[in-house]
């Protein structure tokens, strides 16, 4: 969007002679003979009469100003911007926004043009503007002060030079530049603008007793400012910060600070404790691959990770880690403990499941659909490979589990969709869209959305009939399905495999059991509650059954009108 699109000829705005008021584009595009006041007036007109949203207008104008600065303005690009900053306070409500806009544009310009003839002149003028703003003779917000210092890289010696010139002119306001700046910084600390204060101290290389200041920031939970200040002050203050984090059991903060500043040798025990804490949190989220990578081959950490896997009952991960890192001796020493820990979770044997059937071709698909259609109640669940990249799309749903009382069918959706998509669609339509079969799920509406996203051209995932989402019945705040199973059945589920690779073929025996349990346990929770519900404790299932859950993409109003 060009600047011309922001400037509007308005026939309703006429001068006394009845002629249209227009803005001279040439004047804006050539700064050689344009004063700062005219420049800013034109900028205001462009912004005021633009028809786009504020953020879009801001970005467009920012780019246009950057382009304009490439002209050979006098007395120089940076100096011209500073002259504008002296004028901007008279624009009142527009002052802060336009100050930020032209400073950002100058920042872009300086990246594109590495040298500028007026750099030294501009630095002195920027230092003078800083003094005038802090002294109260020019009105600008705090964030504009910080932007001026950043863009023009104003240093203590620049302020000292201006103060010396002012003193020579009999200006007695200052003892010294450093004292003047310190008083301003102290005011920022008093108003609890700690990040601003720290940034100024670092920019002007002012070091003073940092320990009390550090404690003040920590007490006020200004941890980012505290870390910035400690990094500037050096190892003694950094060590105090790390110890403070340790005393407050803020192990993640301690770990990041130790790593960032290479303090591993100064805090070996704490660093190890921090890493163990990270591994434990990752294990609790079932992010075993990430946890293994974080262990980084450290034998002590790997042994701890094996212990966590044993504690979670994740036997194949225990064996995998022990084989990969030669930890068999450690495994033997702790084997009996692992067996005890594994007994804490539900297994398929607890439900007398007769068979878990893998469905990945036409005949097994047809047979599975035939048997499921004869059921009155089924349990549903899905699994897909986790994606640990931040901001990336989830992977395609890999498997879908459908359970009856005694049997569980696990559909290999990836292979079935690739080989027999029409048969898959037809079979699942007869199951998911049947009003005769009650379908139990746990947050299955989310699964349906993921299924529709993964296989958008199949009709079977567009909607579901007779769905009872068990999560909505009990609304368990913690523990998910495992917590609900523990509450109703007395024992929870082992959820450590939920983030395993569900696209590998064949799936391991433990993966198959995990997948089957998630579906079959829903039926047994339903049966148990039904058989024990009476009086005030009776659970009203029917009110939670969704007779028709539409999962098809919503049509826009325009599309709906066209259809009509």
100 pLDDT more than 60: yes
The two tokens of residue 485 are 């199973």
Three-state helix/strand/coil letters over 401-421: EEECCCEEEEEEHHHHHHHCH
CB within 8 A of 495, min separation 6: which ones? Answer: 286, 480, 482
* 331 and 355 co-located in one domain: no
SS3 state at 70:
coil
* 515 and 388 co-located in one domain: yes
pLDDT tens per residue across span 386-401: 887 777 788 999 999 9
The two tokens of residue 170 are 């009999």
pLDDT tens per residue across span 118-173: 777 889 999 999 999 999 999 999 999 999 999 999 999 999 999 999 888 887 77
* 332 and 460 co-located in one domain: no
Q: Average model confidence (pLDDT) for the chain?
A: 84
* 317 and 366 co-located in one domain: no
Cα(386)–Cα(450) distance, integer angstroms? 13
In a domain, 508, yes or no: yes
In a domain, 116, yes or no: yes
* 40 and 78 co-located in one domain: yes
Min mean pLDDT across 279-283, 436-440, 445-449, 536-540 is at: 536-540
| Residue 140 DSSP label | -
pLDDT for res 287: 86
* 300 and 365 co-located in one domain: no
Distance set, CA 366 to CA 318, 363, 373, 544 (Å): 38, 5, 11, 31
pLDDT for res 25: 52
In a domain, 36, yes or no: yes
In a domain, 561, yes or no: no
Min mean pLDDT across 69-78, 111-120, 393-402, 552-561 is at: 552-561
Q: Which has more confidence, 460 or 287? A: 460
Cα(398)–Cα(454) distance, integer angstroms? 9
**How many CA atoms lie within 13 Å of 483's alpha carbon, on the beta-carbon side?**
8
Q: Are 371 and 404 in contact (CB under 8 A)?
A: yes
pLDDT for res 558: 41
* 357 and 318 co-located in one domain: no
CATH number at residue 489: 3.30.420.10
- Residue 287 sits in which domain range? 268-342
pLDDT for res 115: 60
The last residue of one of the domains, among 129, 154, 179, is 154
In a domain, 105, yes or no: yes
Average pLDDT on 366-394 reads: 90
Q: Which has more confidence, 344 or 170? A: 170
| pLDDT grade for 556, boundaries at 50, 70 and 90 | very low
**How many CA atoms lie within 13 Å of 104's alpha carbon, on the beta-carbon side?**
14
* 467 and 402 co-located in one domain: yes
468 pLDDT more than 60: yes
Cα(272)–Cα(304) distance, integer angstroms? 11
pLDDT for res 9: 39
381 pLDDT more than 50: yes
- Which residue, among 406, 409, 421, 516, has the nearest Cα to 461 in the 3D structure? 421
Cα(202)–Cα(188) distance, integer angstroms? 14
* 471 and 493 co-located in one domain: yes
| pLDDT grade for 104, boundaries at 50, 70 and 90 | very high
pLDDT for res 545: 80
| Residue 11 DSSP label | T
The last residue of one of the domains, among 122, 139, 154, is 154
In a domain, 255, yes or no: no
pLDDT for res 17: 38
* 81 and 148 co-located in one domain: yes
- Which residue, among 240, 242, 154, 268, has the nearest Cα to 205 in the 3D structure? 154
pLDDT for res 466: 92
In a domain, 137, yes or no: yes
Average pLDDT on 345-356 reads: 90
* 52 and 70 co-located in one domain: yes
Q: Are 385 and 400 in contact (CB under 8 A)?
A: no
| pLDDT grade for 561, boundaries at 50, 70 and 90 | very low
DSSP per-residue letters across 180-232: HHHHHHHHHHHTT-HHHHHHHHHHTT-----HHHHHHHHHTT-HHHHHHHHHH
Per the structure, the count of domains in the chain is: 3
In a domain, 107, yes or no: yes
The last residue of one of the domains, among 317, 342, 367, is 342
Residue 369 burial (CB < 10 Å; 0-12/13-18/19+)? buried
* 272 and 387 co-located in one domain: no
Average pLDDT on 85-112 reads: 91
| pLDDT grade for 333, boundaries at 50, 70 and 90 | low
Cα(423)–Cα(555) distance, integer angstroms? 27
| pLDDT grade for 117, boundaries at 50, 70 and 90 | low
Residue with tokens 């200040």: 229
């Amino acid at each position: 969007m060009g600047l011309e699109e922001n400037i509007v000829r308005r026939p309703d705005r006429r001068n006394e002679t009845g002629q249209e008021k227009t803005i001279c584009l040439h004047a804006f595009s050539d700064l050689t003979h344009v004063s700062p006041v005219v420049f800013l007036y034109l900028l205001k007109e462009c912004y005021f009469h633009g028809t786009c949203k504020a953020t879009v207008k801001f970005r467009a104008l920012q780019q246009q100003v950057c382009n304009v600065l490439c002209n050979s303005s006098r007395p120089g690009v940076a100096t011209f911007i500073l002259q504008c900053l002296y004028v901007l306070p008279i624009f009142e409500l527009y002052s802060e926004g336009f100050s930020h806009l032209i400073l950002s544009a100058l920042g872009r310009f300086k990246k594109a043009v590495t040298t500028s003839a007026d750099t030294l002149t501009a630095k002195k003028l920027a230092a003078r503007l800083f003094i005038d703003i802090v002294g109260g003779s020019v009105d600008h917000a705090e964030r504009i002060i910080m932007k001026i210092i950043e863009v023009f890289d104003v240093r203590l010696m620049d302020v000292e030079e201006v103060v010396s010139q002012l003193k020579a002119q009999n200006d007695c306001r200052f003892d010294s530049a450093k004292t003047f700046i310190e008083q301003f910084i102290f005011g920022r600390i008093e108003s609890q603008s700690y990040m601003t204060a720290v940034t100024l101290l670092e920019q002007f290389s002012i070091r003073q007793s940092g320990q009390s200041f550090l404690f003040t920031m920590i007490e006020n939970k200004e941890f980012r400012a505290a870390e910035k200040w400690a990094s500037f002050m050096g190892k003694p203050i950094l060590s105090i910060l790390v110890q403070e984090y340790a005393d407050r059991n803020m192990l993640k903060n301690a770990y990041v600070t130790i790593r960032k500043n290479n303090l591993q040798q100064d805090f070996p025990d704490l660093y190890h404790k921090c890493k163990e804490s990270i591994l434990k949190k990752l294990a609790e989220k079932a992010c075993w691959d990430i946890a293994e990578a974080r262990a980084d081959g450290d034998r002590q950490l790997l042994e701890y990770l094996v212990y966590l896997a044993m504690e979670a009952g994740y036997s194949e991960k225990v064996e995998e880690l022990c084989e990969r890192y030669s930890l068999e001796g450690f495994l033997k020493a702790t084997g009996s403990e692992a067996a005890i820990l594994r007994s804490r979770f539900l297994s398929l044997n607890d439900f007398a499941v007769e068979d878990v059937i893998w469905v990945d071709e036409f005949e097994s698909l047809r047979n599975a659909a035939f048997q499921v259609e004869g059921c009155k109640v089924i349990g549903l669940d899905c699994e897909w490979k986790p994606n640990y990249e931040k901001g990336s799309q989830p992977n395609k749903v890999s498997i879908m589990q459908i359970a009856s009382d005694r049997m569980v069918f696990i559909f290999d959706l990836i292979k079935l969709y690739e080989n027999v998509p029409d048969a898959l669609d037809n079979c699942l339509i007869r199951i998911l869209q049947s009003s005769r079969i009650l379908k139990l799920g746990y947050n299955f509406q989310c699964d349906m959305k993921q299924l529709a996203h993964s296989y958008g051209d199949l009709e079977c995932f567009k909607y579901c009939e007779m769905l009872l989402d068990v999560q909505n019945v009990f609304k368990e705040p913690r523990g998910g399905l495992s917590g609900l199973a523990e509450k109703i059945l007395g024992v929870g589920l082992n959820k450590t495999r939920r983030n395993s690779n569900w696209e590998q073929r064949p799936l391991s025996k433990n993966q198959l059991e995990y997948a089957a349990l998630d579906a079959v346990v829903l039926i047994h929770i339903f049966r148990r509650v039904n058989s024990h519900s009476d009086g005030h404790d009776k659970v009203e299932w029917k009110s939670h059954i969704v007779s028709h859950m539409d999962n098809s993409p919503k049509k826009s109003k325009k599309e709906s009108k066209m259809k009509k």
